[in-house]
Amino acid sequence: MRAQIEGSQAVAEAVVLCRPEVIAAYPISPQTHIVERLSRMVKQGDVGHCQYLNVESEFAALSCLIGASAAGARTYTATTSQGLLFMAEAVYNAAGLGLPIVMTIANRAIGAPINIWNDHSDSMALRDAGWIQLYAETNQEAADLHIQAFRLAEELSCPVMVCMDGYILTHAYEAVDVPTQSLVDTFLPPFSPVQVLDPNEPISIGAMVGPEAFTEVKYLAHQQHVRALALIPEVAGAFERQFERPSGGLCSPYRMEDADIAVIALGSVIGTIKDAVDELRREGIAAGCVKIGCYRPFPMLQLRGELKGVTRVIVVEKDLAVGMGGIVSADVHMSLQGLHIPVHTVIAGLGGRSISKASLKQMIHDARAERLSEPHFLDLNMTAINDEQARRRDQRRAGPVAEQLIRAINAIGTKVV
């Protein structure tokens, strides 16, 4: 039923429709509303025989799920930011053991400086841990991706992260169609694990593997991701047929048929980019955009296909590889090898900075006029930076950067943007 609800509620309800059997989570903003609602629903008996484990940390949350999943349970957790980093070791283990755990990442920046707002630094830091990573554009898609995620995870024996922008999506109220239980049951069969810890038929999972076989184990993990590249569009197609709306998939083009310049991005900012594209089209600029819906595995060939006809690509990313520049841009570069299409990196929306349509349009104008620096930081306050750099040149004990900058720029919460 279509309802005007919070993104976190939509996700919690979608997860419940997937009939999870063990949920373990530790609350952290902006993930909190998802797990609060789930714990309440489990307590009320709305989630079958599901167990909700209140754990002492994110590391414990995922460790519990590793055990539960290995014992054959359908498992779910959610976290963000420092919480994801805290469970990092278990994140690699879940993938390495081939356990189909589904985890929501309510994307948030990583400190220091501490910042609770949205960007993609957290999921990007764990991009190579072996999990499939899906990114939601809207709350409808966030809900839908969870239903697809369990099916993907269990068909591939590979864990899946569903990434949704913290606050921007998790705390946004918008219309979401939460499907019926019977529709979800038809789409998502009961979990039939390929490996189970069973006292009656004992096996071991998690053996030490030496140099003689470690590469082969990793090679097979990579092959699972290659398989996922075929399965993800298949599952998205099956979802669309059954639920009568498109959701998910590897990458989605918008006004790319005759586009000259393409903007690539992940997550909710695609909505604002589409508005910017429409306005530029009205000004006679052949702009288009491509949403990367699945970042791991990276849809290299599909993206290359979408971008073949353009003369310029701009990657807008909410993350920063300090000392290098863009993370997504590097992958886009790889996809376009030999095509000689310039790829600009634009770092935007870090730590919750709002990405405006006006700034995105200006960015496209600047790219066409060869005015973008590499990498380009959107809406950078150069006055504050120059002042701080000058101050640090002038005195050795210049003090902490973050404290100086917030004093120079503004007090939190008093400015509109």
Partner 1 sequence: MHAVRIHGRGGQGVVTAAELLSMAAFTDGKHAQAFPSFGSERMGAPVMAFCRIDEQPIRTREAVTHPDVVIVQDPTLLHHVDVFGGLSAEGYILINSTFSVEDLGIGEFLANLPNDHLYIVPASDIGQKHLKRPIANTSLLGAFAAMTGFIKLASVEAAIRQKFPGAPGEANAAAAREAYDHVTAFSNTQEGVSQHARAN
Name the residues that contact partner 1, by CB under 8 A.
Answer: 3-4, 6, 29, 116-117, 165, 167-168, 171-175, 268-269, 271-272, 274-275, 354-357, 412-417
Angle CA 258–317–360, to nearest 5: 55
Smallest gap from residue 12 Cβ to partner 1 (A): 16
Smallest gap from residue 165 Cβ to partner 1 (A): 8
Nearer to partner 1, 131 or 243 (CB): 243
Nearer to partner 1, 225 or 357 (CB): 357
Is residue 6 a contact partner of residue 20, using CB atoms and an 8 Å limit? no
CA distance 78 to 61: 9
What does the H/E/C string look like for 160-184?
A: EEEEEECCCCCCCEEEEECCCHHHH
The tokens describing 266, both together, are 């992940």
Nearer to partner 1, 41 or 101 (CB): 41
Smallest gap from residue 108 Cβ to partner 1 (A): 12
CA distance 378 to 320: 12
Rounded to the nearest 5°, which phi and psi values hold at 24?
A: -135, 130
Q: Is 76 exposed, middle or buried (0-12, 13-18, 19+ CB in 10 A)?
A: buried
Smallest gap from residue 237 Cβ to partner 1 (A): 23
Tokens 């278990």 locate to 90
Nearer to partner 1, 2 or 340 (CB): 2
Radius of gyration of the chain (CA): 22
CA distance 360 to 273: 7
CA distance 279 to 125: 34
Nearer to partner 1, 216 or 275 (CB): 275
Nearer to partner 1, 171 or 391 (CB): 171
Smallest gap from residue 360 Cβ to partner 1 (A): 9
Nearer to partner 1, 176 or 367 (CB): 176
Smallest gap from residue 172 Cβ to partner 1 (A): 4
The tokens describing 417, both together, are 């943007």
* 248 phi-psi bin (left φ>0, alpha ψ -120 to 50, beta other): left
Q: Where would I find the H helices in 326-368?
A: 328-335, 357-368
Smallest gap from residue 283 Cβ to partner 1 (A): 18
Smallest gap from residue 148 Cβ to partner 1 (A): 22
From the list 378, 369, 357, the residue with the least C-alpha distance to 315 is 378
Nearer to partner 1, 269 or 313 (CB): 269
Evaluated on CA atoms 256, 258, 259, 260, the torsion sign reads positive
